[in-house]
Amino acid sequence: MIDLPFIAVIVLIMLGISAAVLKRNMIKIVMGVSISASGINLLLVALGYREGGVAPIFTNAPAAQMVLPTPQALTLTSIVIDLAVTAMMLSFVILMYKHYGSTDSRKRRLSG
Amino acid sequence: MMAFLLQHAPALVIALPLVAAFAMPMLSRLGARAVKAWALLALLATESLVLLLGRDVMSGNPHVYALGATIPSLTTPAGYPIRIIIEVDAMSAFMAMICASISMLVCMYSLQYVRKKGGQDKYYTLLLLMTAGMMGLVCTGDLFSMFVFLELLSVSSGALIAFHARRGESSEAAFKFMVVSSIGALMVLLAAGIFYGQYNMLNLAAIGGMLRFGFLDKVALVLLVAAFAMKCGAVPMHMWVSDAYGEAPAPVSAFLVVASQASLYALFRVCFTLFGVAAATEIMGWALVVLGMLTMFIGVTMAIPQKDIKRLMSYHAVSQTGYMLLGVGVCLAVLGNAAALGSFGITAMQGGLFHVVNHAMYKGLLFLAAGAIIYRTGTRDLNKLGGLAHRMPLTAVFFLIGAFSISGLPPFNGFASKLMIYESVFRFNPLLSVIAMLTSILTLASFMKVFHSAFLGPELPEYRGVREMPPAMWISMGILAVFIMLFGIFPDLVVQYLVGPASQALLDRIGYLGGVL
Amino acid sequence: MTGVLITGAGFWSPLVWLAAFLIVLAIVLLIRSTGRKKFRHGTDQTAAFFSGNEAPKTHVKAGNIYWGFFVTTGRYYRWLRRMHTGIVNDYVYSFVLIMVILLAAVTMGGLL
Amino acid sequence: MKRKTDKSMDDGMSIIVKVAAYVLAVPITILGLYIILHGHLTPGGGFPGGAVIATLTVLFLVAAGKEKAKALKKDMISFAGGVGLVMFAFFGFIGTGTTFFYNILANSGSLFGMRIPFGVNPGYMWTAGVIPPMNMAVGLEVAASLSLIALVMFLYTMEDER
């Protein structure tokens, strides 16, 4: 059963990338990137799990082996970065919608 | 004081531009002049720190710095590396020097180029953030920090590409750039996760020391190589480059070239230091060589028909990246074969790394020259330009220097590095060398097209009022031009004191691992 | 020796090249100076020869340069244009494609 | 792309929504501050707490509408963000006597410098050295930046529809 999170991770990443490849709506492309990022965050959190370990919170902690909080720190950092990236991409979509009047990725002016 | 600065220089070169960027929203209340002075001062300080650090590192004294430890060199307090560890060897110092120098010159150029009302503080904040991202990317010794700095670099450069947001095209270019670079960065994070799951480590040296090279490691290798090759613009993942470089403001394009070089550094670091001989180096080396050949040829042939001056130059930036991939890829392919490595592998790598610094300089000069044309005439369409040499002779001279250098004409610096690549690659596979030379010829042809259509011909009536560019712009371009000449006339000294130690450091995998463990 | 770059198979000395360049330049200037006497500005000598007619003051625009080259390589360029669509989905697709090819190469290479 | 003017959003939503938003503002602020201040004791810290406080801005924007939103000064918000970031960097730099980011206050006995007794503990506030001040700096920065993002996007999209 321990492999279940990893299967979910692969499914999420594939889902996100296929949305970025197949969807024409740019907002859906942004959503695809976000879904991929969530999949990778899930991977990092899943890697932090150790059987019999205690969550690395010092307050009220039982006297047992604590897990190393590195994956949690990584996940938090990655969430922050993902937020910044998503906000950036959405603002570009807003700007493009204003100029081109469409959120279709095929309506572009730069090519060749 | 000097010793203190030197000891903490690895952390300070990243922290200084970062803090300068943080303080910018407060300084912006003092007006545009204060903002410009602050940005230039911060980048000057970074540059001098990097030079101080680089001189020490190049003399065979790599620095390792553990953030937050009781002493800076305490990397393994419990027998394994913890904390964020910055490791600056000669290769990192080499790249850091390029990044710091170009960022300073770009900032100097921007003082008069960027005229947008109300956006000045944001522009310089983003420029400083980009510098910090690059510095972090080339100095860090940790896979996760690499991801963080890569994203810092992408986000700030994405915002700078869309700096002139009233043009729809720049938002479009920035959007495409952000989508591909965030997916690439996610793949780097996925690789970091794969390594963490197997070895419980994120430090490059520690992972390198424990590498088993099973299936998952191969997957991680592919993810990292594909992501960094995409970030440096290898064909067929290069399409974002022409959009982003073409639509960004001219100094930002010059700086984005260096950002791509930083990704290239990460690619080399992963291939040589993290995996080394243990990886399927022959296959990986051939993969890089094939990518390099495609990049070179398709980049240059796409450049010839372009009508937008900056888009043309961005395809050349793609094409030149191919030379670096070729040179270093050949070295990677013969890494397991000591005889071949000694006879031509090291020279090929030195040629590739020499081309990195040359490319950063001449491509920067060319983009800045294109910026001067756009600044004075207001158009970037080559069909509308003509006869500018009558009015802007200095720009024409600088453009010619850059064009000769990128086409590999003696005695400019591009010739020296290209000659090293041709001759060493010829002994690996003659066909590759022939294609590389053909690419150079096509490069010259396409730059002659630009020079003819923009600068030569009779004076056009619409550009009668055009003047020479303002001083801050030509001073920064002049510095670049002088360095291009110097590097062209004394290539042996550059190879001996800069490129040689860098290539040695890249090959010295044991030394890099031993710095931390 | 200073000023000599070892380039794998041979060497490259910019200083020698510069010296040779200067010597050739001096010879060229010498030859040029012998012909200066017959040269007069503002006469037909300086005008371009255009079948005896007045040469038009036109500028060849960028779009017309290398016209023949593009005619001969038309098929290659049509293929390139098809490749450079400028659609963001294709950008992501090519990235995924390269990743798959590399993965196949690296894992299959281990088996061989 | 011109759209029909939608005046209904200029003054925000109905009075019920406004009152509910104002009532909710207090618990949201308290929750955010709690998460920031206890960042070194419980899961959370500067980023989540700051994000919670930034939802306050979003709530205000949605409830009060465009006209009131213009009262928020973008310069002031970005200034606050800069203060937070510089504070964070300052706490990084004060450790430079030892190493960058060295936790100089931990176990020193001064502010936030209490030694932690080993074993089960109820959570002591004055511990962890420079981490709580850094959390506060990050909280300020994140609250300001996310508010700024929401404000700019809100004003920009509203302008678009005029």
Per-residue pLDDT tens for A5-55? 889 999 999 999 999 999 999 999 999 999 999 999 999 988 888 877 787
For A41-58, what is each residue's pLDDT tens digit?
999 988 888 877 787 777
SS3 label, residue B73 = coil
- In chain D, the N- to C-terminal Cα span, in Å, equals 10
Number of domains in chain D: 1
Structural domain boundaries, residue C56: 5-87
| B8 contact residues in D (CB cutoff 8 A) | 96, 99-100
What's the rounded mean pLDDT across residues D43-61?
Answer: 88
Q: How far apart are CA D160 and CA D162, in angstroms?
A: 6
The more confident residue out of C52 and B272 is B272
Q: Is residue B113 within 8 Å of B473, Cβ to Cβ?
A: yes
* Beta-strand relationship, B63-66 and C5-6: unpaired
The more confident residue out of C52 and B35 is B35
Residue of chain A nearest D123, judged by CA positions:
A59
Which tokens is A13 given? 């990443």
pLDDT at A2 over 70: no
Structural domain boundaries, residue B468: 2-516
**Are C95 and B415 an interchain contact pair (Cβ–Cβ within 8 Å)?**
no
The more confident residue out of A65 and B289 is B289
Q: What is the pLDDT confidence band of residue C111, given thresholds at 50, 70 and 90?
A: low
- Provide the phi-psi class of B408: left if phi over 0, else alpha when psi is between -120 and 50, else beta: left
Nearest CB to A22 within list C85, C86, C89: C89
Q: Is residue D91 within 8 Å of D130, Cβ to Cβ?
A: yes
CATH code, residues A1-48+69-112: 1.10.287.3510
Q: What is the pLDDT confidence band of residue C61, given thresholds at 50, 70 and 90?
A: confident
Q: Judge D/C contact: 3 or more CB pairs < 8 A.
A: no
For D62-109, what is each residue's pLDDT tens digit?
888 777 777 888 888 888 888 898 888 888 888 777 778 787 777 776
In a domain? residue C93? no
The candidate with the shortest Cα–Cα distance to D56, out of D82, D83, D22, is D22
CA angle B455-B456-B457, nearest 5°? 130
Q: How far, in Å, are A71, A80, B236 from residue D39 at the CA level?
A: 17, 16, 46
SS3 label, residue B516 = helix
**Are C62 and B453 an interchain contact pair (Cβ–Cβ within 8 Å)?**
yes
The candidate with the shortest Cα–Cα distance to B495, out of A42, C4, A82, C20, is C4
Which tokens is B363 given? 């491509």
As to burial, measured by CB atoms within 10 angstroms (0-12 exposed, 13-18 middle, 19+ buried), residue B264 is buried
Distance between A15 CA and the closest CA of chain B, angstroms: 13
Which tokens is A29 given? 């492309």
SS3 label, residue D41 = coil
Distance between C85 CA and the closest CA of chain A, angstroms: 5
Q: Containing H/E element for B88?
A: strand B85-88
- In chain B, the N- to C-terminal Cα span, in Å, equals 29
Which residue's structure tokens are 């604590």? Answer: A66
C-alpha torsion A21→A27→A33→A39, nearest 10: -110
Distance between D95 CA and the closest CA of chain B, angstroms: 8
pLDDT at A87 over 70: yes
**Are B410 and C70 an interchain contact pair (Cβ–Cβ within 8 Å)?**
no
Residue of chain B nearest D78, judged by CA positions:
B25
DSSP string spanning B193-246? Answer: HHHHHHHS--BHHHHHHH----HHHHHHHHHHHHHHHHHTT-TTS-HHHHHHHH
Q: Please tell me whether the overall predicted TM-score, pTM, comes out greater than 0.90 for this model.
A: yes
For C82, other C-beta atoms within 10 Å of its C-beta total: 9
Q: How far apart are CA B516 and CA C15, in angstroms?
A: 43
As to burial, measured by CB atoms within 10 angstroms (0-12 exposed, 13-18 middle, 19+ buried), residue A52 is exposed
pLDDT at A85 over 90: yes
In a domain? residue D2? no
Rg (C-alpha) for chain C, rounded Å, is 28
* Beta-strand relationship, B63-66 and B85-88: antiparallel
Residue of chain C nearest B425, judged by CA positions:
C8
Nearest CB to B457 within list C59, C63, C91: C59
| pLDDT of amino acid B295 | 93
Q: How far apart are CA B19 and CA B128, in angstroms?
A: 9
- Torsion over CA: B361, B362, B363, B366 (sign): positive
Which tokens is D67 given? 């006209």
DSSP string spanning B311-342? Answer: HHHHHHHHHHHHHHHHHHHHHHHTTT-HHHII
- Mean pLDDT for chain B? 89
- Torsion over CA: D94, D98, D104, D109 (sign): negative
For B339, other C-beta atoms within 10 Å of its C-beta total: 9
Q: Judge A/D contact: 3 or more CB pairs < 8 A.
A: yes
For C63-76, what is each residue's pLDDT tens digit?
888 889 999 999 99
Q: How far apart are CA B21 and CA B160, in angstroms?
A: 14
Distance between A44 CA and the closest CA of chain D, angstroms: 17
Identify from B179, B187, B245 which residue to disrupt to test chain A contact, counting A C-beta atoms within 10 A and taking the largest count.
B179
**Are B179 and A33 an interchain contact pair (Cβ–Cβ within 8 Å)?**
yes
Q: How far apart are CA B460 and CA B455, in angstroms?
A: 11
Residues of B within an 8 Å Cβ radius of D: 8, 11-12, 15, 18-19, 22-26, 28-29, 65-72, 84
| pLDDT of amino acid A49 | 81
- Three-state secondary structure string covering B467-503: CCCCHHHHHHHHHHHHHHHHHHHCHHHHHHHHHHHHH
| pLDDT of amino acid D63 | 86
Q: Which residues pair with A54 in a beta bridge?
A: A66
| D47 contact residues in B (CB cutoff 8 A) | none
Q: How far apart are CA C48 and CA D12, in angstroms?
A: 74
Instruction: Provide the b/e sequence for B469-504 (b: ≥16 CB within 10 Å).
Output: beebbbebbbbbbebbbebbbbbbebbeebbbbbbb
DSSP string spanning A65-95? Answer: PBPPSHHHHHHHHHHHHHHHHHHHHHHHHHH
Task: Give D27's Cβ-side CA count (13 Å radius).
Answer: 4
Number of domains in chain B: 1
Which residue's structure tokens are 């081109």? Answer: A100
Domain ranges of chain A: 1-48+69-112
What's the rounded mean pLDDT across residues A68-84?
Answer: 88
Residue of chain C nearest A21, judged by CA positions:
C89
C-alpha torsion A111→B414→B93→B217, nearest 10: 50
In a domain? residue C32? yes
For D111-137, what is each residue's pLDDT tens digit?
777 777 666 677 777 777 788 888 889
Number of domains in chain C: 1
| pLDDT of amino acid D1 | 43
Structural domain boundaries, residue D35: 7-160
Q: Is residue B292 within 8 Å of B232, Cβ to Cβ?
A: no
Residues of chain B predicted below pLDDT 70: 278-281
The candidate with the shortest Cα–Cα distance to B474, out of B202, B108, B18, is B108
Which tokens is B256 given? 């984005």
Nearest CB to A105 within list C81, C84, C88: C88
Contact of D75 with chain B, judged by CB distance below 8 Å, is answered with yes
Distance between C79 CA and the closest CA of chain A, angstroms: 11
Which tokens is B173 given? 């270019």
Identify from A92, A96, A97, A109 which residue to disrupt to test chain B contact, counting B C-beta atoms within 10 A and taking the largest count.
A92
Q: How far apart are CA B176 and CA B493, in angstroms?
A: 41
Which tokens is B151 given? 């994203």
Q: How far apart are CA D12 and CA B39, in angstroms?
A: 41
Which tokens is B248 given? 């960004």
| pLDDT of amino acid C110 | 59
- Provide the phi-psi class of B203: left if phi over 0, else alpha when psi is between -120 and 50, else beta: beta
For B7, other C-beta atoms within 10 Å of its C-beta total: 17
**Are D1 and A62 an interchain contact pair (Cβ–Cβ within 8 Å)?**
no
Residue of chain A nearest C79, judged by CA positions:
A112
- Three-state secondary structure string covering chain C: CCCCEECCCCEECHHHHHHHHHHHHHHHHHHHHHCHHHCCCCCCCCCCCCCCCCCCCCCCCHHHCCHHHHHHCHHHHHHHHHHCCCCHHHHHHHHHHHHHHHHHHHHHHHHC
